[in-house]
Amino acid sequence: MRTDVEAWFARRTSRMADWDRAALARAKGSTSVSVVLPARNEERTVGDIVRRLRRELVDELPLVDEVVVIDSGSEDRTGDEARAAGATVHRQCDVRPELGDRPGKGEALWKSLFVTTGDVVVFLDADLRDFNPGFAVGLIGPLLADPRTHFVKAIYDRPLTDGRTVLPAGGGRVTEILARPLINVHFPELAGVVQPLAGEYAGRRALLERLPFVSGYGVEIAMLVDVLHDVGLDGLAQVDLGRRVHRNSPDDALCRMAGQVYLALLSRLELHGRALPTVDPSTDLTQFARDRGAFVPLVSCVGVDERPPAATLQQYRPRSDRVPSA
């Protein structure tokens, strides 16, 4: 790593155990905190996550002010389970419907800014198993402790189930094969970020509302680069949450994810003046499956688009005009 990145890594990397939830609650003052879970067909896990967040960080200890689930068109009982566990649930398509609705996680995150109230917003995936409310505590900690910190990324071990055993790491396959090499080449300032595609992170609303949100699986890589451009490397921090367990995706799904991640990164190279494209990239991804002894091409679109910064829209109300939902 570059010497400045190595110094950042040592200075801005902490562990979940470093952050005492009771001390943070006392130091919180008037700062409000929202936890957001974007969810699609997560009825098996979302209820337990919400229940533990509310019990430990809302009811027992006033660290979190609201727990909000953005239901991205679930076809199961995700919304019902989350609501029964104590979350405020919004269907993604019902949030500012006049702005339309687009598929993908990035849309859920962007729309959450319209229905939450926190000065600090924590994003957690809704498919986490063995969930620990300390995940939220760790992400909140650096933001409450240091006003110079604007964005906090989770880092962790990701077990990969291979059908016979559970491997200690290797679950971040798109990160290791695609995202990390590209980041090191094009954005070496971010080489110290352990999990650039992590779905768990937190930021100050004042930052998040001035960022564009890329659609689909490109949202994490694009946001990380945009945050770097906005607040600089020292405005970022990362927290080791230990071990994160969720379902692993098959290779064909990871291929589509990688396509979106790459296109999102290309868009950031152009946006921030680090590359000038000579042709528009193709958004069609061709994969192959065997059918009756022959290979059959399967074509899907992996194109990404993006929403503008929420603060630039007339429909976006200042946080002070809203009523907390928890």
The per-residue pLDDT for 216 is 85
Confidence of residue 241 (pLDDT cuts 50, 70, 90): very high
The per-residue pLDDT for 252 is 80
Tens-digit pLDDT profile for residues 16-25: 999 999 999 9
The per-residue pLDDT for 170 is 45
3-class DSSP string for 81-94: HHHHHCCEEEEHHH
CA neighbor of 8 nearest in space, from 192, 147, 183: 192
Range of lowest pLDDT (35-39, 50-54, 230-234, 284-288): 284-288
- Give CA–CA dist 325/77, Å, rounded: 21
The pLDDT of 308-324, averaged and rounded, is: 79
Tens-digit pLDDT profile for residues 53-96: 999 999 999 999 999 999 999 999 999 999 999 999 999 999 99
Is it the case that residue 160 has pLDDT exceeding 70?
Answer: no
Give the number of C-alpha atoms closer than 13 A to the C-alpha of residue 138, restricted to the C-beta side. 24
- Give CA–CA dist 185/249, Å, rounded: 26
* pLDDT cut 90: percent of the chain above it: 78
Q: How many CB atoms lie under 10 A from the CB of residue 277?
A: 10
The per-residue pLDDT for 211 is 97
pTM, entire model: 0.91
Q: Which amino acid is at 165?
A: T
The dihedrals phi and psi of 19, each to the nearest 5 degrees, come to: -110, 115
Angle between helices 78-85 and 46-53 (to 10 degrees): 20
The per-residue pLDDT for 276 is 87
DSSP letter at 40 equals: S
For residues 181 and 160, the model is more confident at 181
Tens-digit pLDDT profile for residues 190-200: 999 999 999 99
Is it the case that residue 323 has pLDDT exceeding 60?
Answer: no
